[in-house]
């Protein structure tokens, strides 16, 4: 039996107008760190955004994960169930 693994990828930028979307005039943020936790408390990371504001957590099993931006109070929960979840961007 083959077990599908998933990736979570993210994009960090300065949302100057607060619309939740990356607009042309909004800069990417490099050097921001993220941690990922599963429901058992296992952690992945930290992963750090590159010059284009991108970060990745790879080879994850289906499940529920907590994404934490270190040094901030931003926390996101995401449940991986389907292949298309691999391409989800925050």
What pLDDT was estimated at residue 67? 86
| Distance (Å, whole) CA 6 – CA 18 | 29
Average pLDDT value for the chain:
80
pLDDT tens, position by position, 63-72: 888 888 888 7
| Distance (Å, whole) CA 40 – CA 90 | 23
Q: Which of 66, 58, 59, 71 is nearest to 29 (CA)?
A: 71
Global pTM value:
0.75
* Domain coordinates in residue numbering, the chain: 6-13+32-87
Q: Considering the domain 6-13+32-87 in this protein, what is its CATH number?
A: 2.60.40.10
pLDDT tens, position by position, 71-87: 876 555 555 444 334 43
Q: How far is CA 7 from the centre of its chain?
A: 9
């Amino acid at each position: 039996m083959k077990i599908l693994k998933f990736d979570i990828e993210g994009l960090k930028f300065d949302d100057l107008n607060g619309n939740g979307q990356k607009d042309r005039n909004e800069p990417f943020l490099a050097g921001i760190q993220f941690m990922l936790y599963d429901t058992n408390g296992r952690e992945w990371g930290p992963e750090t955004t590159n010059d284009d504001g991108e970060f990745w957590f790879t080879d994850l099993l289906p499940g529920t994960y907590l994404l934490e931006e270190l040094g901030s109070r931003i926390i996101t929960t995401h449940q991986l169930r389907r292949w298309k979840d691999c391409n989800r961007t925050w």
